[in-house]
Amino acid sequence: MTSRPITTDVLIIGAGAAGLMCAIEAGKRGRTVLVLDHANKAGKKILMSGGGRCNFTNTDISPDNFISHNPHFCKSALSRYTQWDFIALVERYNIAYHERDLGKLFCDSSAKDILNMLLAECEQAQVTLQLECLVDSVENTNDGQFDIHTNQGYFRAASLVIASGGLSIPKMCASPLGYQLAEQFGHHIWPTSAGLVPFTLHTQDKASLAELSGISVLSEVSNPRARFRENILFTHRGLSGPAILQISSYWQPGEAVTVNLLPDMDLLGWLKEQHAARPNSKLKTALAELLPRRLIPALLGTEVADTPLQSFSHARLAAVAGQLQQWSLKPNGTEGYRTAEVTLGGVDCNELSSRTMQSSKVDGLYVIGEVVDVTGWLGGYNFQWAWSSGWCAGQVV
Ligand SMILES: Cc1cc2nc3c(=O)[nH]c(=O)nc-3n(C[C@H](O)[C@H](O)[C@H](O)COP(=O)(O)OP(=O)(O)OC[C@H]3O[C@@H](n4cnc5c(N)ncnc54)[C@H](O)[C@@H]3O)c2cc1C
């Protein structure tokens, strides 16, 4: 015997950044809103974000900071609910925050402040949260409603919002449900892959670079599609740091990336000056003025590093400059979803309304946040996409 469904105007799957924002906005419009999540807590990724301080947005947001097969898609949502709108909300709650490099905004105290703000807004908007709720199946009824069967009962909703996020960090409750549901409703899904993720190295590079673990250097990292100037970090597993995470979202397996460890200088000119001024100095002694000492033999080899400058021809100095300013590094792979901050690819934007996030395949179905094929750079862009897309859907669901 099938029990009677619990009815609601809007059912949102996923109590993360996008789902909570959508719920708040829909609730404020007087819609009854139920948010389901299989986790035991809402907003787990918000809590772990930005090293616990949540880089909740960026002062400088442009469509160029997002990766998608349809680069125009994000424009409408980002311009309808901007970073200034979210900052105004944060200020209304008197949450102290600060700006770091490249316009990144972080909480002074804790990411909890952002989650508590969203939960307070949900409460005011009379949103119901149902946690530890496992979705068994979702069906479209003949009268255009959605039936959602779960371990906590059977729900019926006029609007269904998929806000279950991407695949990164399965330990934090990430799951493929959003992609599966979108596919079930006839949507095309662009292949997914891990983005904003550390690189792993081939055995030989790993052995020579392992001792550099902990060193961080401002670098410019590039490939033919993108270029980022931020720190790189050597780790015991490979390479990380903001510049590496950024380029990882533009990296294809098998490709090399170019690392310029001294992006702001004419290194060859400087080496020639040193060659003339202190010919007896070893190369590593001179370069230690520019780079961490341990890095030099690891990248150039001990023999070269120990050679006095006077033994270098200008052509060999040019080769040294090339090794440090055009270091061609071929990663073995990435650390994958285990540590990635985001998922690239996802629900094809061309089958969603850029204004409302509604599906063009099924009336009443909406897809928001990371499950959509819109991936932001590091720096608060992914949360801004979640806020903006969630807000847009929240106006119409
Ligand atoms: C370690 C880390 C740090 C990050 N730091 C930042 C940062 O500082 N700034 C920034 O902009 N971005 C950051 N990000 C990215 C950002 O967290 C995400 O892009 C953002 O949370 C996406 O929002 P969302 O609502 O789409 O998905 P999520 O916030 O992931 O929410 C999805 C929700 O759906 C639920 N769910 C999943 N599957 C199911 C299912 N089968 N049934 C029911 N519920 C389900 C999940 O439990 C979760 O609550 C970080 C990510 C990680 C992993």
Q: What is the pLDDT of residue 264?
A: 87
User: In which band, very low, low, confident or very high, does the pLDDT at 363 lie, cut at 50, 70 and 90?
Assistant: very high
Do the beta carbons of residue 162 and residue 365 sit within 8 Å?
yes
Contact criterion met (CB below 8 Å) for 235 and 271: no
Pocket test for ligand 1, best of 12, 35, 45 (most atoms within 8 A of CB): 45
pLDDT at 2: 58
Indicate whether this model's pTM tops 0.85: yes
Q: What is the CA radius of gyration of the chain?
A: 25
pLDDT tens sequence across 199-237: 999 998 898 898 999 999 999 999 999 999 999 999 999
What is the secondary structure of 97-118 as a DSSP string?
A: EEE-GGGEEEESS-THHHHHHH
Q: What is the pLDDT of residue 1?
A: 45
- Report the length, in residues, of the chain: 397
Q: pLDDT averaged over the chain? A: 97
Question: Would the CB of 168 count as within 6 Å of ligand 1?
Answer: yes
What's the pLDDT at 142? 87
**Using a 6 Å cutoff on CB, does residue 244 contact ligand 1?**
no
Produce one character per residue of 185-204: b if its CB has 16 or more CB atoms within 10 Å, e if not: bebebbebbbbbbbbbbeee
Cα separation of 31 and 10, whole Å?
7
Read off the pLDDT of residues 56-79 as tens digits, 9 standing for 90 and up: 999 999 999 999 999 999 999 999
Question: Which of 345, 370, 372 shows the shortest CA–CA distance to 357?
Answer: 372
Cα–ligand 1 centroid distance for 187 (angstroms): 21
> Rounded distance, CA 100 to CA 12, Å?
33
Atom of ligand 1 nearest to the CA of 45: 17
H/E stretch holding 191 reads strand 189-195
